Amino acid sequence: MRLGVRAAGALGALLVALAIAVGAFGAHTLEDRVPAARLGTLETAVRYQAYAGLGLVAMSLVARLAREHAARAAGQAAALLALGALLFCGALYLLVAGGPSFLGLVAPVGGAAMILAWLRLALALWREPLTPTP
């Protein structure tokens, strides 16, 4: 499972833009309409969506600049990060909207996928040689 370089960068930028829009919507429109606990959940979802978006942009840059192994790992990490953001943030957004409480069990799976994405990238970058090979 791999996410292409262009797709990762574009998706990352889109996620950040949407996080800003949803955060503004929540702050200005939902403040008097949903309980404070749900607003806190919304803020968490928005924050992690923005982190994931910035991470996808970074992984896209790594994939463009790194050698073969690290570039491939960056694509794999980007796919894991995108999946994790979908599961984690999506579950939280649905909970805020009044979705079923079992969605609270989905969010940690998404969080674990995001953590694994960063670990995959870290391992690949650690193993990447610092000097170019002839």
The Cα 77–Cα 36 span in angstroms is 34
Q: Which residue has the tokens 């829009």?
A: 21
**What is the reported pTM?**
0.90
Contact 60, 78 (CB under 8 A): yes
The alpha carbon dihedral of 58, 12, 6, 84 has a sign of: positive
pLDDT at 11: 96
15-37, pLDDT tens digit by residue?
Answer: 999 999 999 998 888 877 888 88
23, exposed or middle or buried, with CB in 10 Å at 0-12, 13-18, 19+? middle
| Ranges of each domain in the chain | 5-126
Instruction: Give me the percent of the chain exceeding a pLDDT of 90.
Output: 72
Dihedral, CA atoms, 113, 114, 115, 121, nearest 10 degrees? 100
